[in-house]
Amino acid sequence: MRQDQLLVGTILDGMARWVLAVTNSTAEEARKRHGLSPVATAALGRLMTGALIMASSLKGEENITLRLLGDGPLKGVIAVGDARGRVRGYVQEPWADLPLKGPGKLDVGGAVGRGDLVVSRSLHSGEVYTGTVPLVSGEIAEDIVHYLVTSEQIPSALLLGVRVETDCHVAGAAGFLLQVMPGAEENDIQIMENIIAGVKGGISELAARSETSEELLESLLGQQPYRILERREAGFSCICSKERLSGTLATLGKKEIAELIADGKAEAVCHFCNERYLFSVEELEQILEQV
């Protein structure tokens, strides 16, 4: 697919809300920027897709941070999605890898391990709401659903998938959330369950095969009529800048900055996108003056 997108809509005359995120390029860019192993690509790709989907209900400058803090080899996986369809993220141990769980099956749950999912919503008002749930499987979609159901009491189903080819590149990545709205009847819920159960071969396979977001949506929904309420572009995008990183350098303190000046230069790297910023002696001296 040409462009990553986020689509929001309804089925069953508004009795169900769905969100579709197409994230092929987003996951591939994260892999390239961070030099991720296949299992790290799948984990971060899934988490970034989940963050984009959860950010679909936010507004303006609001954002949501998902932290997977597990005891597996990846150690931690962090993604931040915002209301504009931008997402960024990183893996604490980007090269960690595990043997496949089965033919073509990356062991994301094993790589994440046991621990917690921490969800923080940063709202327009400046308030930050944080909720924590224990990880169910570390496979990410189940963990996010567990959060939605326990913390927000919204009956939900979520599919997240990233297909990583043997040459390591991302062939397809997407996520699909289906939520029961108030007033839905037993029959509506049965139809929703059938939609989720009917996704054969996984959503990443469908994403790899589809030419457009609509084609992917239709292969998920089958014959079910749908309405699209919103459509926005999505993609990997970081908010870092040299100014922000100089603020981070300033927090090191006078002694450390003086040492960097003695070294003749400094390099600061953004965790979220791996962008490198070089600081000259003159720039470091300016930072030192402000400390």
Helix (H, G, I), strand (E, B) or coil at 47: helix
User: Contact between 270 and Zn ion (CB under 5 A)?
Assistant: yes
Q: How far is the CB of 223 from Zn ion (least distance, A)?
A: 43
Q: How far is the CB of 52 from Zn ion (least distance, A)?
A: 17
Amino acid at 187: N
Closest CA to 235 of 8, 13, 27, 15: 27
Separation CA 238–CA 80 (nearest Å):
9
Asked if residues 158 and 145 have their Cβ atoms less than 8 Å apart, the reply is: yes
Instruction: Please pick, from the candidates 160, 164, 170, 240, the single residue that binds Zn ion as defined by CB under 5 A.
Output: 240
User: For residue 283, is it left (φ>0), alpha (ψ between -120 and 50) or beta?
Assistant: alpha
User: Contact between 273 and Zn ion (CB under 5 A)?
Assistant: yes
What length does the chain have? 291
What would the two tokens of residue 38 be? 């296949």
CB-nearer residue toward Zn ion: 196 or 239 = 239
Separation CA 279–CA 150 (nearest Å):
46
Asked if residues 119 and 135 have their Cβ atoms less than 8 Å apart, the reply is: no
User: Contact between 238 and Zn ion (CB under 5 A)?
Assistant: yes
Which of the ranges 6-14, 76-84, 219-227, 273-281 carries the binding residues for Zn ion, by CB under 5 A? Answer: 273-281
Q: How far is the CB of 78 from Zn ion (least distance, A)?
A: 12
CB-nearer residue toward Zn ion: 1 or 27 = 27
Helix (H, G, I), strand (E, B) or coil at 66: strand
Which of the ranges 2-10, 99-107, 247-255, 270-278 carries the binding residues for Zn ion, by CB under 5 A? Answer: 270-278
CB-nearer residue toward Zn ion: 192 or 273 = 273
Which of the ranges 60-68, 75-83, 108-116, 230-238 carries the binding residues for Zn ion, by CB under 5 A? Answer: 230-238
CB-nearer residue toward Zn ion: 179 or 246 = 246
CB-nearer residue toward Zn ion: 38 or 85 = 85
Where do contacts with Zn ion occur on this chain (CB under 5 A)? 238, 240, 270, 272-273, 275
